[in-house]
Amino acid sequence: MIEQLPALQVVLPLFSALLCLLIRNKTASRLFAVAVSWGCLAIALILLQTVQESGIISYHLGGWFPPLGIEYRIDLLNAYVLIIVAMISAVVLPFGFGHWGLSIPEGREYLFYCAFLLCISGLLGITITGDVFNVFVFLEITSLSSYALIAMGRSRRALRAAFTYLVMGTVGGTFILIGIGMMYLETGTLNMVDIANRLPLAYGSRTVLVAFAFLTVGVGIKLAVFPLHHWLPNAYCYAPAAVSAFLAATATKVSYYVLVRVIFTLFGAAYIFETLRFHVLLIPLSLLAMFVGSAVAIYQTNIKRLLAYSSIAQIGYMTLGLSFASINGLTGGLVHLFNHALMKGGLFLVAASVMHSIASNEIDDMRGLGRKMPFTMAAFVLGGLSLIGVPGTVGFISKWYLIVAALEKGWYPIAVLILLSSFLAVIYVWRAVEIFFFREPDAETVIKEAPLSMLIPTWILIGGTLFFGLQTGWTAGVASSVADSLLGGLP
């Protein structure tokens, strides 16, 4: 049983998705989905423990030996990302249990949970597999199910947002496929370890160069790297409430994981950063993302759109950490995966609770909510402080590693820019906080605090931002040993 866990991690949600179709009853399908997501989390935890105790797990799907068969290969990095995906889905799925609000179209609940589980299995599959073509397959499962999830949004604009995402996502997926094909052309294998071993022989070839270009642009679209982020704000804004929280906290994280794998495992950091000097491109783009994302967030009138633009800025922090190509930088980027998943997931759940209570996500309609929904809004303030990077929250930890990385490289202006951009976060967070706490609410409407089934998941994530802001042994510990092993030869 235990040795079959890597397969179960993906197969469990995949087949449960199909079972969801048979259940059809909305409450039963939901209960089932929650149970499955908790099962996934349990499997992910066991996998992490196994990896930490006995090193890399190599699982041969169907008993076929790699490189012919598909290999699931779990090292500390995969296990870490699996935990993020499984944890967020286990918290988001039970959110608002017992309440059927405005977010899911009536009568189609079981379809919603089917798509949700498919999306989970896709994300887990991308993370767990050691086969590049398999990555592409799971990427498509994720994308198709997330188009469906986004399109279920209440507003008709959700359809358009989903369509834009569909077009952009398909372009991205195709690019990735072309990149994979070219790598196959050069190396004759699809297994990641094999590719990593054989690519150095072909470093001079133009095909490898083009393959890398296609892969990074393709992944860049999925990751919403500036300036390929166009699809993200609308998709997050119009998707059903819980979907925004789930996608914001997991989808971009998994794309980041793919980028890290491509750069550090497949091509090798030395080739990418020393020969190609990829950071010359990535650092300015990351900085632009940090500033443009935050600056645009300041002017948003919709809370989910504000959070979406803030995500673009936060993705900038992650790619910046990666492009330092140093232990501290990569640790900062990787730890921010987990940290950002916690805070952005929590903040989107706040937006979802507000949606449930006042049926709007316009910041202006949220006047005075601080008094009506004190616990929900307090969660927003704490999540916002974490976005700013106040010490005691997870945001501070990520920022600390990034600044240390910038200073040890002697890139002082970048350190200053990181700090300045966090001041932009102060502005967009506090502009909303002022409206929530100091504007007079409409007198006649009766607004109640969100139900416990919403408060508890929200506070699990927000509480996590505080807990892991002080106890970083696990998050930063895992991230730095991953960074250590990924960088191998490089300093």
Partner 1 sequence: MTPDQLIALSILSPAIGALAIAVIGRNDDGGHTPRDIMTIVATLFTFGFVVQLVGPVMAGDRPELSLFEILPGLAIAFKVEPLGMLFALVASGLWIPTSIYSFGYMRGHHEHHQTRFFVCFAIAIFAALGIAFARNLLTLFLFYELLTFSTYPLVTHAGSEKAVKAGRSYLGILVFTSVSFLLLAIVWTWQTTGTLEFRPGGIVDGHLEGTPVFLLLALFVFGTGKAALMPFHRWLPAAMVAPTPVSALLHAVAVVKAGVFTILKVIVYVFGIDFLTDGNYALWLCYAAGFTLISASLVALTKDNLKARLAYSTISQLSYIVLGAALATKTSVLGGGMHIVMHAMGKITLFFCAGAIMVASHKTEISDMKGIGRQMPFTMFAFFIASLSIIGLPPLGGAWSKWYLVLGALEAGQLVMVGVLVVSSLLNIAYLLPIVVNAFFYPAAEVQIGDGIKEAPIACVASLLVTASGCLILFLYPGFFLDLAQMIGEF
Q: Which residues bind partner 1 (CB under 8 A)?
A: 385, 388-392, 397, 400, 403-404, 407-408, 415-416, 419-420, 422-423, 426, 430, 434, 438, 469-473, 476
Q: How far apart (Å, rounded) are the C-alpha atoms in residues 276 and 264? A: 13
| Residue 219 C-beta: closest distance to partner 1, Å | 30
Nearer to partner 1, 84 or 382 (CB): 382
Fill in the amino acid letter for 257: Y
Q: What are phi and psi of 95, to 5 degrees?
A: -55, 125
Closest CA to 339 of 88, 139, 95: 88
| Residue 74 C-beta: closest distance to partner 1, Å | 26
| Residue 198 C-beta: closest distance to partner 1, Å | 37
Nearer to partner 1, 121 or 472 (CB): 472
Residues 475/466, Cβ–Cβ less than 8 Å: no
| Residue 283 C-beta: closest distance to partner 1, Å | 18
| Residue 303 C-beta: closest distance to partner 1, Å | 19
Write the Ramachandran bin of 346: left for phi over 0, alpha for psi from -120 to 50, otherwise beta: alpha
Q: H-helix or E-strand containing 59?
A: strand 57-60
Reduced to 3 states (helix: H, G, I; strand: E, B; else coil), residue 459 is helix
Nearer to partner 1, 373 or 403 (CB): 403
Nearer to partner 1, 67 or 464 (CB): 464
Residues 383/249, Cβ–Cβ less than 8 Å: no
Nearer to partner 1, 11 or 427 (CB): 427
| Residue 376 C-beta: closest distance to partner 1, Å | 17
Nearer to partner 1, 150 or 476 (CB): 476
Residues 59/72, Cβ–Cβ less than 8 Å: yes
Residues 72/135, Cβ–Cβ less than 8 Å: no
Q: How far apart (Å, rounded) are the C-alpha atoms in residues 220 and 469? A: 28
To the nearest 10°, report the CA torsion of 65, 68, 69, 71: 80
| Residue 307 C-beta: closest distance to partner 1, Å | 20
Nearer to partner 1, 91 or 327 (CB): 327
Q: What are phi and psi of 283, to 5 degrees?
A: -65, -50
Nearer to partner 1, 133 or 467 (CB): 467
Closest CA to 91 of 463, 481, 399: 463
Those residues whose C-beta lies under 8 Å from the C-beta of residue 444, and which sit 6 or more positions away, are: none
| Residue 256 C-beta: closest distance to partner 1, Å | 22
